């Protein structure tokens, strides 16, 4: 298993976002649709040429260790938790996608699926299930399915017709090793198998919950979810006037939707009531958008070696990003606000059971790759 870069997971030293709470309200209910309202006068227009240059970096001074923030919380060993859960997920993925005929397609599927990664999405699924009171075994097939779909999205993202990237998780991208044709099919196979895996391999969960989980996942990645975000992202390349509503639509769908699905699936299969599921959905929406804001910042402040993927590609492609619209400092403030809002949404749950999700929110906020 690839090593996890968890050295920068921490708790924030203080609430630094009170002064910006009005600037960054909790996520909207998404009435805005760039596919149909690109000329809407409600968009905030931004002139990219007037923005400050992107030269700031995330520094160690932004980060403190958990025990320095709150000694009472230091009993939760996040590093050990992530290593244990990631190992369990890796074993489950290894077993689920074995090497069999046709060998070539399964080699390609396994190449990207087992290439390492932080396994944030499946661990979120397992943590949400545990928070509700469910067992890990109930959520493991759903957790693996989410990771399969995430891997599919990476394989397809890297294709020449999309982002045209040569590096992923520190290794040559799938199409560079197996060719574009096999890479496309490997992604397709992972997508299809994800749903089969939930339906066939989930045990100890009522069929009604499994059906609900399948529907939730399908909606998260289709034409109203991940794909919608991808489409708007593509057609937005090169635009000079884009508002924050437009950018939020892209990332709530392209990135946050699958993170949201991971948490919601865990809550559903774990037996959460509607109120619990929806509260966790809001939590996941915050950390999903947080993940992308941090990703945008890292893309312009870290090297390809540090990231394990090509750095600066958003700038080269002239994509809309949070640093491009807001500058580095405001992007960091927005990330802090999203993290704070997410953690507040976990109030009312058992603190001990919520500890992994709180830790994951902090990890996403302060990750370095």
Q: Which residues are CB-contacts of 273 (< 8 A; sequence separation ≥ 6)?
A: none
Kindly list the distances between the CA atom of residue 112 and the CA atoms of 27, 106, 154, in Å, as whole numbers in the listed order. 32, 10, 9
| The residue to which tokens 């928070």 are assigned | 131
First-last CA distance in the chain: 17
Under a CB-based contact definition with an 8 Å cutoff, are residues 271 and 132 in contact?
yes
What pLDDT does 35 receive? 52
Tokens of 340: 């704070």
Each residue's pLDDT, cut to its tens digit, for the chain (369 residues) gives: 333 333 333 333 233 333 334 444 445 444 445 555 444 333 333 332 232 322 222 333 333 333 334 434 458 899 999 999 999 999 999 999 999 999 999 999 999 999 988 899 999 999 999 999 999 999 999 999 999 999 999 999 999 999 899 999 889 999 999 999 999 999 999 999 999 999 999 999 999 999 999 999 999 999 999 999 999 988 888 777 888 899 999 989 998 999 999 999 999 999 999 999 999 999 999 999 999 999 899 988 866 665 565 655 565 556 778 888 889 999 999 999 999 999 999 999 999 999 999 999 999 999 887
What pLDDT does 318 receive? 64
How far is Cα 199 from Cα 61, in angstroms, rounded to an integer? 46
pTM recorded for the entire structure: 0.79
What pLDDT does 60 receive? 35
Closest CA to 115 of 81, 72, 158: 158
What pLDDT does 6 receive? 39
Closest CA to 357 of 125, 198, 102: 125
How far is Cα 302 from Cα 299, in angstroms, rounded to an integer? 6
How far is Cα 210 from Cα 221, in angstroms, rounded to an integer? 17
Kindly list the distances between the CA atom of residue 132 and the CA atoms of 67, 129, 136, 265, 277, in Å, as whole numbers in the listed order. 26, 5, 11, 11, 9
What pLDDT does 299 receive? 84
Under a CB-based contact definition with an 8 Å cutoff, are residues 232 and 248 in contact?
no
What pLDDT does 237 receive? 81
- Chain centre distance of CA 46: 26
What pLDDT does 311 receive? 56
């Amino acid at each position: 298993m690839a090593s996890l870069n968890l050295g920068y997971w921490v708790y924030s030293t203080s609430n630094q976002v009170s002064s910006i709470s009005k600037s960054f309200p909790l996520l909207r209910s998404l009435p805005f649709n760039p596919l149909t309202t690109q000329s809407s006068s409600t968009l905030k227009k931004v002139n990219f040429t007037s923005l400050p240059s992107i030269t700031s970096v995330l520094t160690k001074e932004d980060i403190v260790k958990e025990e320095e923030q709150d000694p009472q919380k230091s009993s939760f060993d996040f590093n050990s938790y992530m290593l244990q859960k990631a190992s369990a997920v890796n074993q489950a993925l290894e077993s689920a996608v074995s090497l069999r005929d046709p060998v070539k397609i399964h080699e390609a599927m396994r190449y990207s699926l087992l290439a390492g990664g932080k396994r944030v999405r499946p661990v979120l699924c397992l943590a949400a299930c545990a928070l509700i009171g469910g067992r890990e075994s109930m959520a493991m097939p759903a957790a693996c399915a989410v990771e399969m779909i995430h891997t599919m999205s990476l394989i397809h993202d890297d294709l020449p017709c999309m982002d045209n990237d040569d590096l992923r998780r520190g290794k040559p991208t799938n199409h560079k090793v197996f060719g574009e044709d096999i890479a496309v099919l490997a992604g397709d196979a992972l997508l299809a198998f994800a749903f089969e895996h939930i339906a066939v391999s989930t045990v100890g969960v009522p069929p009604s919950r499994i059906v609900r989980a399948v529907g939730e996942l399908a909606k998260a990645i289709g034409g109203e979810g991940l794909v919608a975000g991808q489409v708007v992202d593509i057609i937005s390349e090169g635009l000079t006037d884009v508002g924050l509503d437009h950018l939020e639509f892209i990332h709530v769908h392209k990135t946050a939707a699958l993170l949201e699905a991971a948490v919601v699936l865990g809550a559903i299969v774990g037996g959460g009531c509607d109120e619990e599921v929806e509260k966790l959905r809001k939590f996941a929406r915050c950390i999903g958008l947080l993940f992308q804001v941090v990703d945008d910042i890292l893309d312009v402040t870290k090297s390809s070696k540090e990231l394990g993927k090509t750095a600066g590609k958003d700038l080269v492609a002239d994509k809309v990003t949070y640093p491009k619209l807001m500058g580095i400092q405001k992007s960091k403030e927005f990330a802090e606000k999203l993290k704070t809002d997410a953690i507040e949404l976990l109030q009312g749950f058992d603190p001990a059971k919520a500890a992994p999700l709180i830790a994951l929110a902090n990890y996403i906020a302060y990750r370095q790759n």
